[in-house]
A and B are shown apart, each in its own frame.
Chain A
Amino acid sequence: MSNLGDKATHQSLTPKQQLENLVDGLCDEPFELDSEDLSLSEASELQRTLLKFARRGADSASDKFTDFGENDTSDESKKTS
């Protein structure tokens, strides 16, 4: 209780820090906001974008791992990356 009092009267927090505290507090688990603001079509679009993105990422990483397995070029790729 005394700690809470200390925090509540602590005036040195900037609005930015207060906002960060708020976001942290609201994002505590369980975070369950099934916002209707994201429509079904927007949700599908988001998933398509993420899948495309994940596919690209998986492909490029997969190529890297294949190179590693087949040709052992890992040291070279590290040097050039």
Chain B
Amino acid sequence: MTEHDEWRSPALTALDKLSGCYKAVAQLSTVQLRTLHSYATFRMIAIRGIVSSTDPADLLQEAITRTLNGSRNWDSQKIDFVTHLKGCMRSIASELAKRARLELEAAKDSASNQQAIEVEYYAPLQILDDLRIELRQDETALRILELLLQGNTRGEIVRALQMRTDVYDAARKRITRALYAVARRRK
């Protein structure tokens, strides 16, 4: 390898990464696209009202932008593209929520206070009420839901409810579908 090659190699490596990322987007299957879209929809539910755009595709695009511009590194040897994008979306949504909260706190005027109350209480309360209505005939799901709301993990819930993991996983899917349905209705 010449000195010139060594000097160029970081740029070439970056180009390889870009090309890999583009190919990975092109190769996403319909199931993977649906999973990513659902995941983005969920992440947007938690920040609804505090960011201007609630389009899940925007969150997905931002994850791809950050991968392309290198602010989020994708190591294709260690992690698949879908899992990488989900991780990006999780951190972007969390970052947006933190920033928006700080801005609301800093404003301290009555309009901001009203918006903060709406964001912190009323809007999420309506979503949770709708979700409970959606699951009203599913007692197992409702019991799990209450524990998830308090921040308990899968292991903690399974132990607390003395439930088989496959029963928990099936109920979690029902809750997921129900929340997705609620989110789509409130779009």
Which residues does A use to contact B, with CB under 8 Å? Answer: 1, 3-4, 7-8, 10, 13-16, 18-29, 31-35, 37-38, 40, 43-44, 46-47, 49-51, 53-55, 57-58, 61-62, 65, 68-69
| Min C-beta distance of B53 to chain A, whole Å | 14
Given A4-B156, A8-B147, A27-B42 in contact, is the A57-B64 Cβ separation under 8 Å?
A: yes
By the criterion of a CB under 8 Å from any partner CB, how many residues of chain B are at the interface?
A: 67
Identify the 7 closest CB pairs spanning chains A and B, nearest first.
A57-B68, A15-B124, A25-B148, A18-B149, A21-B151, A33-B38, A19-B124
Query: CB within 8 A of A51: which of B25, B31, B97, B184?
Result: B25
Interface centre among A23, A28, A31, A32 (most CB of B within 10 A): A23
From residue 145 to 170 of chain B, which have CB atoms closer than 8 A to chain A? 145-154, 156-157, 159-160
Could you say which residues of chain B place their CB within 8 Å of the CB of A46? 33, 37, 57, 60
- Measured between alpha carbons, how far is A26 from B145 in the docked complex, in Å? 10
Establish whether residues B176 and A33, one from each chain, have CB atoms under 8 Å apart when the complex forms. Answer: yes
Interface of B is mostly: helix
Given A18-B150, A57-B65, A61-B18 in contact, is the A27-B86 Cβ separation under 8 Å?
A: yes
